[in-house]
Amino acid sequence: MIEQDDQLKEFYWYIDILQNVDVGLAVLDKDYSIQLWNGFMENHSGHHPNSTKDQNLFELFPEIDEARFRSKAESVFLLQSSAFSSWEQRPYLFKFKTYRPITCTAPHMYQNTTIIPLVSTTGEVNHICVIVYDVTEEAMYKLGQENNASLNA
Amino acid sequence: MSTPVLICDDSNMARKQCARSLPDGWPVDVSFATNGQEGVEAIKEGKAELLLLDLNMPVMDGYEVLEAIRAQDLETMVVVISGDIQPEARNRVKQLGAIDFIKKPVDKDKLTSMLLEYGIIDAELLANKEQQIIEPQVAKDKPSKAPELNKSESKDSIKELDPQLRDCLQEISNVAMGQAGDMLARLLKVFVELPIPNVNLIEVSELCMAFASVEDFDETSGVCQGFIGSGISGEALLILNDSSFGDMAALLNYKGQLDDSAELEVLMDISNILVGAYLKGLAEQLDLHFSRGAPVVLGQHCDVSQLLEINNQAWQRTLAIELSYAIEDYPIKCDLLLFFTEDSIPHLAHHASYLLDD
């Protein structure tokens, strides 16, 4: 009984952490309908989880290159292994504002994204999770250095 | 016989909120004063058997009103209603003759039970539910409220801040900065002086002027932290003048040499307390939730103008809230500036409208 209570407590901690962690988490099904949307995604997109639930990802976010995203995600469904995208290939998946809209010179948030498979109890992958990392600081630093290098050359 | 009650507060929203918090069915004759001087005049005119007094006001603040009441031996019972919730503030007003202290925003039940406790109202009277509250000013202010806020929402570019929104943000900031000041006071074991928050819509070009007050000090260090949620985004910028570091570090009990990295730690600690507490207070009052980014050091030991030479093209106008904290008996001064993006304003107005609803 006590063990169950502890497990339940841990479970709520996990929920709380996932809701508040400074990383975006979105669960999608095979039709690319949004199934889960954490606090980071809610706050940065301005879309409440209630209004994103069962909505099509590409309809809600027209900035996403559907063909490319699909081909990447299909491989995750098929191979049951993660796929990665770096800001250097593609500056962002979701067009969010930077965290510091006043003092940051970036026009948008730079993002690294990882897509991980979510394996069901029956061993199938019917859902994937998109993890969005804000890498604006790193990108601005690197772009700044590259800029300086090209000026000096 | 109705009881003359005077509400003395510089914020229109706070006056209304306070008037609404008076017990139902209590026959009162409410008058309002917008600063201490008006308040003292009204007491002399016999409008204040009970005075509900704010501390933080222009012209003449609440402490000065209490002193005037004592010096001139004016007849009134004073309950202080303030966002400054430092224990020391509470002690001071009681020493100055206030019968009690209630924190903002006023809790109706608390005010009622307090008035009962002091025998200012009696329970029998409350059971008798007739509403005789005379609030001429409140009634007059009511109709214009909601449409005004909507008007500013429909405009693409907002040239001027709606006065009601300004008043509301000022009052909310007042309460939030009081909470932040209380944290700082407890941590440092000092008394924190809280000025009136300054809410303004400013252009990029004007931003430097907003910093003019900080410019007096040669060198400053700043930390900024972004926040976003419910369509509202912005940045909090904490500026500490370098001469404050020594005292601040001593108050925080930092041992050892105060080098750059130790100073940075002091700066980060202070900014985390003030920004965190302020945003928490703001979010709670407006019923929002913010994500906060990691804090970024903008510059250590640089000119303020340099610090601000940040990014000029990306935005045109910003809603700025300036809060200057000072610590009594120490030459410490730090400024907390909140900048909200222009597109956050309609969302702020929307959330604020719930508070203004009567």
Q: Is B234 an interface residue toward A (CB < 8 Å)?
A: yes
Are B292 and B323 part of one and the same domain?
yes
CATH number, position B56: 3.40.50.2300
Please tell me which of the candidates B228, B298, B339 has its beta carbon nearest to residue A99: B228
Contact A103 B237 (CB under 8 A): yes
Please tell me which of the candidates A22, A39, A101 has its beta carbon nearest to residue B235: A101
In whole angstroms, give the CA distance from residue B239 to residue A3. 49
In whole angstroms, give the CA distance from residue A35 to residue A55. 8
Q: To which residue do tokens 């500056």 refer?
A: A91
CATH number, position A85: 3.30.450.20
Here the ipTM equals: 0.80
* DSSP single-letter state for residue B271: H
Are B20 and B164 part of one and the same domain?
no
Q: To which residue do tokens 């990306």 refer?
A: B314
State phi, psi for A21 to the nearest 5 degrees. Answer: -65, 145
- Domain boundary, last residue among B141, B174, B197: B141
Helix B163-188 to helix B145-154 angle (10° resolution) is: 90
In whole angstroms, give the CA distance from residue B336 to residue B352. 21
DSSP-derived secondary structure for B139-196: HHHSTTHHHHHHHHHH-SS--S--HHHHHHHHHHHHHHHHHHHHHHHHHHTSPEE---
Task: Give whole-number Cα distances, A13 to A18, B188, B202, in Å.
Answer: 9, 32, 42
Best of B224, B230, B233, B239 to mutate (most A CBs within 10 Å, chain A): B233
Task: Give whole-number Cα distances, B116 to A132, B79, B110, B219, in Å.
Answer: 56, 13, 10, 53
Residues above pLDDT 90, as percent of chain B: 15
Are B348 and B218 part of one and the same domain?
yes
Are B182 and B106 part of one and the same domain?
no
State phi, psi for A63 to the nearest 5 degrees. Answer: -70, -15
Span between the terminal Cα atoms of chain A, in Å: 69
Query: So what's the pLDDT on residue B253?
Result: 78
Contact A103 B230 (CB under 8 A): no
Comparing B196 with B37, the larger pLDDT belongs to: B37
Please tell me which of the candidates B229, B291, B315 has its beta carbon nearest to residue A102: B315
**For the ranges A11-25, B67-81, B255-269, which has the lowest average pLDDT?**
B255-269
- Domain boundary, last residue among B100, B116, B141: B141
Can you tell me the mean pLDDT for B340-349? 88
| Tokens standing for residue A10 | 């841990």
CATH number, position B163: 3.40.1550.10
Query: So what's the pLDDT on residue B140?
Result: 39
Strand A83-85 with A111-119, pairing: antiparallel
Cis-peptide into B197, omega within 30 deg: no
Considering only CA atoms, which of A115, A117, A145, A147 is closest in space to residue A132? A115
pTM for this entry: 0.76
Domain residues for the domain of A72 are 23-152
Domain residues for the domain of B297 are 147-356
DSSP-derived secondary structure for B322-345: EEEEEETTS--EEEEEEEEEGGGH
Model confidence pLDDT, tens digit, residues B208-262:
655 554 555 557 778 888 999 888 999 898 888 777 888 888 888 777 777 777 7
Are B45 and B161 part of one and the same domain?
no
Q: How confident is the model at residue B269 (pLDDT cuts 50, 70, 90)?
A: confident
Q: How many domains, in total, are found in chain B? A: 2
